[in-house]
Homo-oligomer: A and B are copies of this chain.
Amino acid sequence: MEWKDLDSRRCSVARAAEVVGDGWTVLVLRDLFNGVRRFDDLAAHLGIARNVLTRRLAALVDEGIVERVPYRAPGSRERHEYRLTPAGRDLRPVLLAMLAWGDAHRAGPDGPPVRVEHPECGAPVHVELRCTAGHVVDPRGPLRSVPAAPTP
């Protein structure tokens, strides 16, 4: 069976792209990973229109990526903040792979703007391809996509 014979939508990449295949959504996730959790803080940091941010957050809540958690600052009314769910935290490798690509191909003369460190030892974290037999896989080399048999 050739790749072209597969249903383009029956694909984990396509399903992930439905969730993160949007520039604003990627930036919202990035800020949530970096501890920006309140609507006003997200809107101010991202420079995103409030109605656009509302829609992106609602979609992420619907997808089970983000949860809305109430909090109350002293003397003010109840508000909500946004936190990544476990499924949301599992998107970290997607963002780190994007970070690595941007560092390698869009960093400009100042070099990479941000370094992501392993908190336990302070060394920079990177994304690596490995196979389950333990080999490091060259990300530029050919890989083989093997479709599972379609359900009859």
- Name which residue of chain B comes closest to A133, CB basis: B123
Chain A 1-39, CB-CB to B under 8 Å as 1, else 0, gives 001101010111111111111111111001101111000
A-side interface residues, number (CB < 8 Å):
91
Report how many copies the assembly holds.
2
Which interface residue of A131, A140, A146, A147 has the most chain B CB atoms within 10 A?
A: A131
- A17–B26 CB distance below 8 A: yes
Q: Which residues of B contact A116 (CB under 8 A)?
A: 143-146
Q: Which residues of B contact A98 (CB under 8 A)?
A: 12-13, 16-17, 20, 94
Chain A 100-143, CB-CB to B under 8 Å as 1, else 0, gives 11111111001111111111110111111111110101011111
